[in-house]
A = this chain, B = another copy of it.
Amino acid sequence: MENDYNDLLSRFIESGDHTLDKILLFTAEIDKMTSVLRRTILIDRSRRENDAEHSWHISVMALLFEKYAVERPNVLHAVEMMLVHDLVEIYAGDTFAYDIAGNASKKEREKLAADKLYALLPSDQSAYLRSLWEEFDAAETTDAKYANCLDRLQPFLHNTLTKGYTWSNYGFRTKRAQVAARMDILREFMPAVHEWVVKCMDTAVQNGWLDE
């Protein structure tokens, strides 16, 4: 990755404005989100989804699901979080929600990745983007809860439409209780949507996409 960034620097045409150069280079660097692959497959089943696509998809969802949240979120602040919440994966990689070992080391790997990534930006923007990521990760504010709900709902929706692809195509079978635990944040925060989630899990177990 370090070499990649030096390669980027060598191709970059400087503006003479150091701040602008930092922002342009950061913009170019985060294009790597397009090659961070998630476990989720696209709804047309053609290939795995990447982080850029996922971040866009949940951001649009944020404009649509507001009425289902029990506390009124600041939708656009939630969108800000969603746009940047996975950036650290450029250096830390995606960690599959049901990968126990991967999740044990996730926090430390992502902290190091954040230190490296946000150092590329001017300091005010660096602090702001980092605070968005931290707010998302803590999942304590209303807006962060809304963002986390949609971050989980989107791959769940994909699974319901692809015979539970990620639940059974990675060398192990997922249990309903694991998915239920991951989706539990919706039970309190988006109860009407959670009812649909429960119905889908029932169907998934009946169809053999999920183990009871």
Contact = CB atoms under 8 A, between A and B. Distances in A.
Contacts of A125: 63-64
User: Chain A's interface: helix, strand, loop or mixed, by majority?
Assistant: helix
Nearest to A19: B67
Interface size, A (range): 35 or more
A160 interface: yes
Nearest to A61: B27
Interface stretch (A52-60, A104-112, A134-142, A174-182): A52-60
A42 B80 CA distance: 23
A193 interface: yes
Contact of A63 (B43, B68, B80): B80
A196 B65 CA distance: 40
B24 A157 contact: yes
A196 B4 CA distance: 23
